[in-house]
């Protein structure tokens, strides 16, 4: 993560500078209202184990149900294999709060593919920005990527 005077750098995508197709090869993405929370918790657990995280912030089922939450689920042949939990700050700005997938086919690179899909989807909904949290090298390849400006 980039640091400036010991301060974390936060990233976002300026959606008007993106041109993603809104498709993911081999995967069906759906914004879900009625999702399988138990399956999502299992996917999150599998994701954390696969990544060898020493410590994780738990996901609570209530987070999926907040009015400002969007849950994008990813299916491979009708089997949920991943999800992104999004938080809408308002009608122009949204945060990618948590992504997880089960790495059933690692060659798919669903993490990057899902970010591109989300950019296309929220751009089609007239959002301006997708906030990504901390700056990470893998995020820098995304169209419209930028470091959030400092507040003065």
Class of domain 3-147: alpha beta
Three-state SS sequence of the chain = CCEECCEECEEEEEHHHCCCCCCECCEEEEEECCCCHHHHHHHHHHHHHHHCCCCCCCCCHHHHHCCCEEEEEEEECCEEEEEEEEEECCCCEEEEEEEEECCCCHHHCHHHHHHHHHHHHHHHCCCCEEEEEECCHHHHHCCCEEECCCCC
Task: Give the pLDDT of the chain (152 residues) as one tens digit per residue.
Answer: 444 444 578 999 999 999 999 999 999 999 998 888 889 999 999 999 999 988 888 888 888 888 999 999 999 999 999 999 999 999 999 999 999 999 999 999 999 999 999 999 999 999 999 999 889 888 999 999 999 987 76
């Amino acid at each position: 993560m980039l640091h400036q005077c010991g301060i974390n750098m936060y990233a976002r995508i300026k959606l008007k500078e993106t041109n993603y197709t809104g498709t993911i090869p081999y995967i069906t993405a759906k914004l879900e209202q009625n999702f399988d929370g138990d399956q999502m918790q299992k996917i999150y657990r599998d994701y954390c184990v696969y990544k060898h995280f020493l410590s994780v912030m738990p996901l609570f089922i209530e987070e999926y149900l907040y009015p400002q939450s969007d849950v994008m689920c990813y299916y491979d042949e009708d089997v949920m294999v991943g999800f992104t939990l999004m938080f809408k700050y308002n009608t122009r700005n949204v945060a990618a709060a948590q992504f997880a997938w089960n790495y059933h086919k690692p060659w798919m690179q669903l993490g990057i593919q899902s970010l591109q899909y989300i950019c296309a989807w929220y751009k089609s909904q007239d959002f301006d920005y997708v906030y990504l949290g901390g700056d990470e090298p893998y995020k820098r390849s995304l169209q419209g990527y930028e470091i959030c400006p400092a507040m003065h």
